[in-house]
Chain A
């Protein structure tokens, strides 16, 4: 069984246009020579095209080709930072629920911005109690820390229901805040909730040394590798993986792709094969590869896992 621990439903309802528009501006700013207006517009269009799979038809096809049995869809509550979104946060959860009912290939993690107060907490509880959500996503780029005290009631529920929490680490769209996105931002939460397992999204590759230090010393911290595609293309990923393995983190690393964000760099199959190639080259043992692709996430999902 292969599990992709980090995916999103590719739709403007889920990842809204301002997210991509700011990303497009970042790319334009980083290109060594400027773009003419039509090229600038084309960059924006190509990025928005990544996000055109509202029924997850392409995602399912890629999962089948890659041998991925299960993908975790992460809800992000952008409602406090972006205005004029297509859906309310409740509708967004129900949109994911429809997909869960249609396909056993997916599970979903709920996310409600803690600044929504009591109503938000109740929505989260409903999502994990009645709507089949099996974990929690925390999206710090929306401007709150994963260790914010307002998060603690959510973690109480996660602790009680044995639900994992996946929190974003590292930069994001330029329209959002990076203030609370360092690996250490999760420390108070992980310290106060030792029974809750925290997955640091992208931290297997983003700020990976700092993140690995957290994982080495906190047994309830895991590192997801999503975003490794860029490192793989730069030829750095294998070295990062060797580094983690040499520090005994085989049981803390999780395979993830962050679909649809990295679709330009290759299909799900390519990224599963990248891990398998590491096994062939002796960078990973067979057990390491199985841990990363399957066993670690399976263990985190525990009895809540979709079989």
Chain B
């Protein structure tokens, strides 16, 4: 996904994810195709934190069991936030 085309919620998600991954990565750049677990080293607790922080920032429920199960990459996350 084009970085410049990110909407406000997607940018918020990127910021949250960057913050969570700071311990795992030495760079701030998050490519859309990056896998949350394998590439970014997100662990299960960070994953839960990500979901909670994104919903808090957006101000509504975004995720359910199925969307969480399908959340593999940064683009998956942006996709969920594309129309919110």
Instruction: Give A contacts to B, CB under 8 Å.
Output: 27, 30-33, 35-36, 38-39, 42-43, 46, 49-50, 52, 230, 233-235, 263-267
Q: How far is the CA of A30 from the CA of B49 in the complex (A)?
A: 11
CB-based contact A46/B65 at 8 Å? yes
User: Given A39-B56, A263-B69, A264-B69 in contact, is the A235-B45 Cβ separation under 8 Å?
Assistant: no
Residues of B near A50 (CB, < 8 A) are 65
Residues of A near B69 (CB, < 8 A) are 263-267
Residues of A near B43 (CB, < 8 A) are 233-234
CB-based contact B45/A31 at 8 Å? yes
CB-based contact B52/A43 at 8 Å? yes
In the complex, 16 of the A-B residue pairs with CB atoms within 8 angstroms, ordered by the A residue number, are A27-B48, A30-B45, A31-B45, A31-B48, A31-B49, A35-B52, A36-B56, A38-B56, A42-B55, A42-B61, A46-B65, A46-B68, A49-B65, A233-B37, A234-B43, A266-B69
Looking at chain A's contact residues, the main secondary structure is helix
User: Given A39-B52, A42-B52 in contact, is the A233-B63 Cβ separation under 8 Å?
Assistant: no
CB-based contact A263/B65 at 8 Å? yes
Residues of A near B68 (CB, < 8 A) are 46, 264
**Contact-residue size bin, chain B (C-beta under 8 Å from the other chain):** 10 to 19
Residue of B nearest to A50 (CB): B65
| Contact code string B44-55 (vs A, CB < 8 Å = 1, else 0) | 110111011001
Known contacts A233-B37, A267-B69; 11 further A-B pairs (Cβ under 8 A):
A27-B48, A30-B45, A38-B56, A39-B56, A42-B52, A43-B52, A46-B51, A46-B63, A52-B65, A233-B43, A265-B44
Q: B42: shortest Cβ distance to chain A, in Å?
A: 9
CB-based contact B44/A233 at 8 Å? yes
Residues of B near A235 (CB, < 8 A) are 38
Q: A218: shortest Cβ distance to chain B, in Å?
A: 32
Residues of B near A27 (CB, < 8 A) are 45, 48
Q: A31: shortest Cβ distance to chain B, in Å?
A: 6
User: Given A233-B37, A235-B38 in contact, is the A43-B48 Cβ separation under 8 Å?
Assistant: yes
In this complex, which of B47, B48, B64, B68 has the most chain A Cβ atoms within 10 angstroms of its Cβ?
A: B48
Q: B59: shortest Cβ distance to chain A, in Å?
A: 11
Q: How far is the CA of A129 from the CA of B55 in the complex (A)?
A: 50
Q: How far is the CA of A233 from the CA of B46 in the complex (A)?
A: 13
Q: How far is the CA of A195 from the CA of B66 in the complex (A)?
A: 42
Residues of A near B37 (CB, < 8 A) are 233-234
Select B44's contact among A35, A36, A43, A230, beta carbons within 8 Å.
A230
Residue of B nearest to A38 (CB): B56
Q: How far is the CA of A235 from the CA of B51 in the complex (A)?
A: 21
Shortest 8 CB-CB contacts between residues of A and residues of B: A39-B52, A233-B37, A264-B68, A49-B65, A263-B65, A266-B69, A31-B45, A267-B69
